[in-house]
Amino acid sequence: MKTIGVLTSGGDSPGMNAAIRAVVRFGVKNGLKVIGIQRGYCGMIDGAFKEMNFSDVAGIMERGGTILRTSRCGEFYTPEGRAKAAAKLKNAGIEGLVVIGGEGSLTGAKLLYEEHRIPVVGIPGTIDNDIAQTDMCIGVDTCLNTVIDAIQKLKDTATSHERAFVVEVMGRESGYIALNAALATGSEAAIVPEVPVDFDKLAERLFEERKRGKINCIIVVAEGAGGAIQVAKNLQDRIGYETRITILGHVQRGGSPTAFDRLLASRMGAEAVKALMNGETCMMMALRMNRIEHVPIAEALKSKKGLDMSLYELSLTLS
C-alpha cells in the first residue's frame, strides 16, 4: 500500500484534528502518501483531495473541530453515490481509507468495503459515546468537561437567586452526557432517553429537598428525553423554586481537546495506519482497558452502547 486517504464525517468532535495529525505523520514516516479528503463523503464524491505532509498538520492538535471540515452527504446514502465516490478514490490512487466519525460514518466505510472492496479502518469520534465495543470515543472527555464547567457556573447563579435550572445537553438517543455530567456536578436529577421519568415522584422529591433548606437545584436533561422546555413545564410551580432553562447546544462540540482526547486520538490515528499497512480492513480502533484494540466495524454497529445503569443508580443515591 502506497497511498491512503483520511476524512472526517458527521458531527465534529474535539480531538479529530489530533487524529488527522497522527494519521498524516505516522503515514508519512512510514513511506505512505496521505491524502486529506475535505468535507467527508461529499468531498469524496466531488474529488476534493489534497496531499498532506508534516507542515499541513502542524499546530492543529490543540484546535477543536476538524481542519478537513465535515458534512452529512445525502448522495452517499445511495449505491450510485457510493460507486461515484469509490471511482474517485481509485482514480486518485487511494488504496486505503481512514474514516473518523460516528455511527453513520462507520456505516459508510463498511459499505465502501462491502460494495467496492476499498480497505477501510474506522476511528470512533462522537461526543455521545454511543459506539459499541469501545470504552471511549474521541471528543467525549472534552465535551463532558465543557458541560461540567457550564453547569458549575450555573450553580453559582442558582445559589445566588435560589433557583432551579433545567440544563439541556446533547443526546438524541443516548443519555451518556446528561448522566455523567449530572453525576460529576452533584446535580439533583439526570433525565435520559433510556429511563422513563416519573415527574410526580421527581417533583415531590425536589420539593421535599427545598423544604429541608436546599437553596438551588440543577436538573440535567438529554435533548432526546423531551428537552429542557418540556421538563420545565412538567416541574414548574411544583418544586418550590423559580425555574430557568439553559440549552447548551453546539458549544458542547467545540473547544480545545483535553489531554485525554489528544492522547486517545493520537493513539487511534497511528494504530489505524498500522492496521491498513498490515492488510486489515473493515476494522475499528477501540479503547479497551486502556489498550487500543482492533474490532470489526460490523460488531461495533450491531447495537448502540447502552447506558451504564449502575451509574444511573449511583446518581439517584448521591443526588
Catalytic residues: 128
Query: Rounded to 5 degrees, what are φ and ψ at 138?
Result: -65, 130
Long-range contacts made by residues 150-153, C-beta under 8 angstroms, separation at least 24?
150/246, 150/248, 150/251, 151/181, 151/185, 151/187, 151/218, 151/220, 152/185
Helix or strand or coil: residue 126? coil
| 261 within 8 A of 278, measured Cβ to Cβ | no
Q: Was 104 annotated as part of a binding site?
A: yes
Q: Was 65 annotated as part of a binding site?
A: no
CA 186-189-190 angle, 5° bins: 100
**Residue 310: enclosing H or E segment and its boundaries?**
helix 309-318
Q: Was 4 annotated as part of a binding site?
A: no
**CA separation for the pair 95, 82 (Å, rounded):** 16
Q: Was 216 annotated as part of a binding site?
A: yes
Q: Was 47 annotated as part of a binding site?
A: no
Q: Was 34 annotated as part of a binding site?
A: no
Other Cβ atoms less than 10 A from the Cβ of 295: the count is 16
Q: Which of 317, 151, 131, 277 is nearest to 218 (CA)?
A: 151
Q: Was 22 annotated as part of a binding site?
A: yes
Helices 79-91, 103-116: crossing angle, 10 deg rounding: 70
Q: Was 73 annotated as part of a binding site?
A: yes
Q: Was 170 annotated as part of a binding site?
A: yes
Q: Was 103 annotated as part of a binding site?
A: yes
Q: Was 123 annotated as part of a binding site?
A: no
Q: For every residue of 217-285, which 3-state class applies, written as one string?
A: EEEEEEHHHCHHHHHHHHHCCCCCCEEEEEECHHHHHCCCCCHHHHHHHHHHHHHHHHHHHCCCCCEEE
Report DSSP state, residue 65: S
Q: Was 24 annotated as part of a binding site?
A: yes
Q: Was 291 annotated as part of a binding site?
A: no
Q: Was 250 annotated as part of a binding site?
A: yes
Q: Was 9 annotated as part of a binding site?
A: no
142 burial via Cβ count (<10 Å: 0-12, 13-18, 19+): buried
Q: Was 186 annotated as part of a binding site?
A: yes
Q: Residues marked as binding for ATP?
A: 11, 72-73, 102-105
Q: Residues marked as binding for ADP?
A: 21-25, 155, 186-188, 212, 214-216
Q: Residues marked as binding?
A: 11, 21-25, 72-73, 102-105, 126-128, 155, 163, 170-172, 186-188, 212, 214-216, 223, 244, 250-253
Q: Residues marked as binding for Mg(2+)?
A: 103
Q: Residues marked as binding for substrate?
A: 126-128, 163, 170-172, 223, 244, 250-253
